[in-house]
Each structure stands twice: as structure tokens, then as C-alpha cells.
Chain A
Amino acid sequence: MGELLFLQQDVFPALMQGLWVTIQLIIPSSILGLAAGVAVGAVRVYGHPLAIRAGNVYVTIFRGFPLVVQLFIWYFGLPHIGIYLTPFTASVLGFTLCSSAYHSEYVRGAFMSAKRGQMMAAEALGFSRLQLIFSVMLPQAFRRALPGCGNELIYLIKYSSLAYMITCIELTGQGKIIASETFRFTEIFMIVGVIYLFLTTVSSWGIRRLEARLRLPGFEHHRM
């Protein structure tokens, strides 16, 4: 009975508060990360050679640096040049930049598998380069990139747990606080883990729904 009360009164409210912060971190990071990833991916396929090089450097850095180091730089490093970010803003910035680097790889692959003929057809109709990328290539590339981008969303949900390292107390951070107070590490981190599992399960279900919605004749996958 005491156990249940402990869960109800201490653990549950704290974890829910943490979960809410986690959700607030994930939503802007995933949307901005995907948007930036599509832009970087498009530039790395269709851009000016210099822009392609810049895009490659961007991806090398943000995929190569450990995410936690990136977060430290945004939160502890930027103040040295007079820029102060809140823990929350620094986390969203870090997640967005890192996520977009990964997204851009999925998107780049999808753009590269597009057929050259359709680009020629659009050019022959008088499309500008930007018009043809947005109205012809992107809708097809997005469909092909979606499974990969969904994968990246799942990663993002889990690496959002690094935010507490720069004092943005989200789900993992809350779990750590209560666990240290009560020394019930196993139970509390089991609960935290199950909550992440719930988030990732809901997300992958959502991605599958979206894939099904966007499926068109000629874009379906075939079973062997």
C-alpha cells in the first residue's frame, strides 16, 4: 500500500512533468530537423558545387561530433562569445542540427534514386530548377525517404534524454533525480524505459500510418 502511494504521489507526477518536457523537446526538434534535413539533402544533390561541399562539411561535423559534446558547446561554449541560450533552447538547437544531418542523408539517397528522365521532362516544360525540385522531385523523394526519416525520429526520441546533461530536466533527468533521492534505481528506470518504449511505439505506428496514406500506385513495395 505504501508502495502504491509512493508511486502515485512522488514518482508519477515527477515523471509526467519530465515527459511533458521531453515531448516539448521532441516536437520542435523533429519538425525543424526534418525541414533542415530536406533542405540540406536537396542542396547536396542539386546545389552549386560549393554549396555541396558546405553541405558535406556540415554533415561530417554534426554527424561526427558526439551529440552530448554538441550540447555542451551550445550551452557552455556559446556564452564565451556572449550568446546565452536557455537549457531548453540549447537542447532544441543541438537536436535539430544533429537530426537534420542524419535526415539529409536519407533525403539525399532518395533524391539520387530519382529518375533523370523526369527532371528532363520538367525542364523541357519550362520549370525552373527550384520549381522542379519542389514540385516534381521532392514529393517522390519524400516518399522514398520516409522509412529512414522515421528511424531518425525514433533515435531523436531516445537521444532527447541527453538534454538533462545541460540541465534541461526532461524525463530521464526527472527519473535520475527521484532515483537518487529514493535509491530505487531499478524500478524507476524501468518505468522511464517503458515510457520511452511507449513514445517510440506510438511514433513508429504514426510513421507507418503516414507511409500508408502517402502510398500511390507505382510507389508500393512488393512482397517477395
Chain B
Amino acid sequence: MSEDVPVLRVEGLSKRYGEKPVLEDASFSIREGELKILIGPSGGGKSTLLQCINYLVKPDAGRIWLDGDEVVPARKRELYAYRQKVGMIFQDFNLFDHLTALANVQIALSKVRKLPRDEARKRAVMELERVGLKDHIAKYPAQLSGGQKQRVSIARALAMDPKVMLLDEPTSALDPELITEVLAVIRDLGLEGMTMLMATHQIGFALDLAHEMIFMEDGRIVETGPPRKILSTADCDRTREFCGKLTDLYGEAR
């Protein structure tokens, strides 16, 4: 893989619901091993952007390249193959309620990647160990805490060997202690070189690890830059105003 080719490149992604544009002409790219953070007010288009990237929401316009190859979502097989390489983590976990933690991780390995049963199982156990849930593999989602559920969902995504992970406010539904355990897992992923695009308001985490911060509002990417700059000396007034509130709420930008 050439150094110059980003893992993920997005050009002119747009989406409107009726008359209301929710995503307008979003363009960016992520290189291997980078962690980019999406911030911005609710309804600003962060979720829509993430969901358009793997076509969970069908964008009205825009092109996407993975490892330099353009994705053609109209070809179903290609779309399914592309989605396997783009891991997605949701705010409310979205585990399969009728399956144990182990089966949640195993099912896509068996059904989508068609791995033999034993191999799928072994891989699923390994991924659950990696997120620290070795002792909980037989539990159902209803028996797990929020933090544990989110870690299962991370294991489920990792088992598919994604090239890039999209994380949509993975800690917003969790209390502070659980946030820490989930962030620790994501931090390890980042340190291992996983390429990630993450919507979050955890600015401490962002300052420590993010390579770049993207501020979105009203469906537009307003400003992009290093986290420290965006959080304290952003060029755009609106970015400064929003980030000022964030730092007030979640503590000083260290």
C-alpha cells in the first residue's frame, strides 16, 4: 500500500431528508493508523455522516474510496464486502438480543465470512478476551452492563478485521465508570494502530489520542484541525463557542 493512499476517502457526501439538508458536501480522508474525532452539536450531522459512510443511510451524492478503490454501493456483493471492512460501533450498542456475547461475535464470522464453526468460535473467544470479557462470553445482552455490551460490540466489529472503524458516540449512553472501561479498549485499539473515525464529546480522550478534530454543524464540516487548536484557538467563532462549552463542562483542555 502506497503511503499516499488514504485508507478511507470521502468526497462531497450529501444527504437531505425532504427539504432539510442533514449532510452537505462532506469531504475528508483518513490515513492508516489515524484517529479523527468528530465533534459538534446534536443534529449537526455526525451520525448521518458516519451512517452514510457505510451506506446504512443512502447518501444522495458523494463518492467513497477504501484503500484507493471506489465503492459502488449499487453492486450488492461489493457493498457487503466493503461493509465488512468498515467496523461500526453504535451509541446504543445494538447487540443481537437473542444471542449470547459469544454468539454475537461469532454469527457474522459464520454467516458472512463463512468460517467453519470451530474457527469462528475460536476467533470470537479471542476477540472477547481482547476486550476483557473472557468470563462473560455465555451471557445474554440483558445480563451485561452497558460498558460490557459496548465492549462486546467492539469485539464483534474487530472480528471482521476492519480496515477502519466508525464509532458513533460509543460512550454517550454510559455512566462515568463504564465510560472509562470502554475508552480504555478504544485507546488500546488506537495504540495498536487501528484507523478510526469517532464522534465523541470526550475531549480529554481526544486531546490525548486524536490526530485531527472535525467540527460539524448544520450538516457541514465547519473546521478541521489539530485537537488543541480546535478546542482553544479555533478560527471559526462558532467552533470556539461550542468548544468553550465543552471544556467548561468536561474540564480544562489539558
A interface residues, Cβ below 8 angstroms from B:
115, 117-118, 120-128, 131, 135-136, 139-140, 143, 216-219
A216 and B204 alpha carbons, distance in the complex (Å):
39
Which residues of the other chain, A, contact B139 by a CB distance below 8 angstroms?
A: 217
Point out the residue from A122, A135, A218 that lies within 8 Å of B141, measured CB to CB.
A218
Which residues of the other chain, A, contact B143 by a CB distance below 8 angstroms?
A: 217-218
A120 and B142 alpha carbons, distance in the complex (Å):
19
- B111 close to A (CB within 8 Å): yes
The prevalent SS among residues of A at the interface is helix
9-residue interface stretch from B35-43, B80-88, B187-195, B213-221: B80-88
- Contact of A118 with B94 at beta-carbon distance under 8 Å, contacts A125-B160, A126-B108 already known: yes
Give the number of residue pairs across the A-B interface with Cβ within 8 Å: 81
Q: Enumerate 10 A-B pairs (CB-CB under 8 Å) in ascending A order.
A: A115-B94, A118-B94, A121-B156, A122-B96, A125-B88, A126-B80, A128-B76, A135-B107, A135-B111, A219-B98
A139 and B140 alpha carbons, distance in the complex (Å):
14
A143 and B139 alpha carbons, distance in the complex (Å):
19
Nearest chain B CB to A55 CB, angstrom units: 23
Q: Are A128 and B95 in contact (CB under 8 A)?
A: no
Q: Are B97 and A127 in contact (CB under 8 A)?
A: no
Nearest chain B CB to A144 CB, angstrom units: 10
Contact with A along B18-53 (1 / 0, CB 8 A): 000000000000000000000000000000000100
A197 and B76 alpha carbons, distance in the complex (Å):
52
A129's nearest neighbour on chain B, judged by CB, is B76
- Contact of A121 with B111 at beta-carbon distance under 8 Å, contacts A126-B80, A218-B141 already known: no
Which residues of the other chain, B, contact A118 by a CB distance below 8 angstroms?
A: 94-97
- B14 close to A (CB within 8 Å): no
Q: Are A120 and B90 in contact (CB under 8 A)?
A: yes
A131 and B114 alpha carbons, distance in the complex (Å):
12
Q: Are A217 and B80 in contact (CB under 8 A)?
A: no
